[in-house]
Amino acid sequence: MSGTPPLLEVRDLTVRFPTRSGVVHAVDGVSFGLQAGESLGLVGESGAGKSVTALAILGLLPAPGRVVDGSVRLRGRDLAGLDARGWRGVRGREIAMVFQDPATSLNPVLPVGRQVTEVLEAHTSLRGRVARAEAERLLARVGIPDAGRRLDDHPHQFSGGQRQRIHLAAALAGRPALLIADEPTTALDVTVQAQIVALVRELRREMGMAVLWITHDLALVAGVVDRVAVLYAGRIVEEAPAAALFARPAHPYTRALLASMPALDGPEPSGRLAAIEGRPPDLLVPPESDPPAHCAFAPRCPHAADLCWVEAPPLQPVPGGGEDGAHRAACWFPRSGDGADPEGDADAGEDPW
């Protein structure tokens, strides 16, 4: 790491939730970085630790969650040591977050204009009428028609998509350098999803902000993000430039995810969509027992070999994954079963496929 530090650097982030029936290892040594203006997709199924990672970055982990290891650095500054005042300078000002369900992420009794001016008052010198005008401009920018007349309306008077736009306007009010979008389109119709995705893409370009896009929908992030990190059972199992990940997925889990996606422009799907057999592992580690040492995906992996049941693979550059090691996967046998892979010969002998 030379020169200026990255905008956001998450290193070995480990989050645990101690509960009565054991400790939940929600996030287990997650590392990634984000340059200014860059966008990263954090993809994984429910319970993979996506939202927990986001909340940990903002220091908003719900009880009893705790960051037990690792660090989150913003422009080289460790956020762990921040006091309440320091956090207020980061939340909304440097990093803003948009949540999943627009129905509940806006205050139901506060007019929408005030929900935006509130953020302006917290992070800018705008007050009163000037703040109101800026709120109107922001709401108009995110696509609320007739924004000026609707500043005093309450959230329930808007549609789901409009609410998400308002939520976005509030998040952007502090002109953050990083926007964390935690499944912001999950609760919306497909057509509205596409609009929101396009809006975020536009705004990102316009404001030059970095975006951490959290989703379970690989197809959704395909056109939006520069890089994708795939999260499974609290760990990153594959990280690559978006194009490389879609063209040549290395980890069996990523490939299974891609295979379970219907191709919209492809031929008619014949028969059923591919599903991933089994279910994600329980991240709860009962008291006085150790977390499993094996690869977390091994129980569902069609290519699992003996080694996979002994030791979990580290995240390492994939053979043939570009010169700079930008394509990394946590698999002992990356691209196993991928006939088109010229680099896979070394592992071929151990490949049970």
Partner 1 sequence: MPESYPPAPAPRTLRGSPAPAPRPARFGSRLGRHPVALAALAVLAGLTAACVFGPWLLPLPPDQVQLDAIRAAPSWAHPLGTDDLGRDILARLLHGGRYSILIGVLAALLGTGIGTLVGGVAGYAGGRVDGALMRATDVAYAIPALPLLIVLASFTGASPASLAVIIGLLSWMTTARVVRGEVLALREAPFVLAARGLGARPARVLGRHILPNALGPIVVGGTLAVGNAIVVESSMSFLGLGVQPPTPTWGNMLMDAQASMAAAPWLTIFPGVAILLVVLAVNFLGDGLQDALDPRGRVR
Residues that bind partner 1 (CB under 8 A): 58, 60, 62, 84, 87-93, 96-97, 99-101, 104-110, 118-119, 122-123, 145-146, 150, 152-154, 156-158, 167, 170-171, 173-174
Give first-to-last CA distance, the chain, whole Å. 39
- Locate 157 and state its tokens: 């008077």
- 154 vs 294 by CB, closer to partner 1: 154
CA triple 59-70-27, angle to 5 deg:
70
Nearer to partner 1, 42 or 318 (CB): 42
- Min CB(180)–partner 1 separation in Å: 8
User: Closer to partner 1 at the Cβ: 174 or 280?
Assistant: 174
Q: Quick one: 150 or 335, whose CB is closer to partner 1?
A: 150
| CA gap 111, 115 in Å, rounded | 7
Residue type, 126: L
**Which pair of structure tokens corresponds to residue 305?**
């070999």
Q: Least distance to partner 1 from the beta carbon of 57, Å?
A: 10
Taking the complex as a whole, how short is the minimal distance between the CB of residue 112 and partner 1, in angstroms?
11
The nearer residue to partner 1, 54 or 305, going by C-beta atoms, is 54
* Residue 263 beta carbon to partner 1: minimum distance, rounded to whole angstroms: 27
The answer to whether residues 139 and 155 touch, using CB atoms and an 8 Å cutoff, is no
Residue closer to partner 1 by CB (options 44, 92) is 92
Cβ contact 296:279 at 8 Å: no
Closest-CA residue to 34 (of 54, 14, 59)? 54
Task: Evaluate whether 53 touches 30 at the Cβ level (below 8 Å).
Answer: yes
Strand-pairing partners, residue 180, are 97, 212
**Minimal distance, residue 157 CB to partner 1, in Å:** 5
Is the Cα dihedral 64, 69, 75, 76 positive or negative?
positive
185: left (phi over 0), alpha (psi -120 to 50) or beta: alpha
Nearer to partner 1, 174 or 249 (CB): 174
- And the tokens for 120? 């302006």
For residue 179, give the H/E element and its range: strand 178-182
CB of 113 vs partner 1, minimal distance in Å: 12
Closest contact distance (angstroms) between CB of 212 and partner 1 is: 13
Between 48 and 98, CB nearer to partner 1:
98
Could you tell me if 312 and 295 are in contact, meaning their C-beta atoms sit under 8 angstroms apart? yes
Residues paired with 265 in a beta bridge: none
Closest contact distance (angstroms) between CB of 165 and partner 1 is: 14
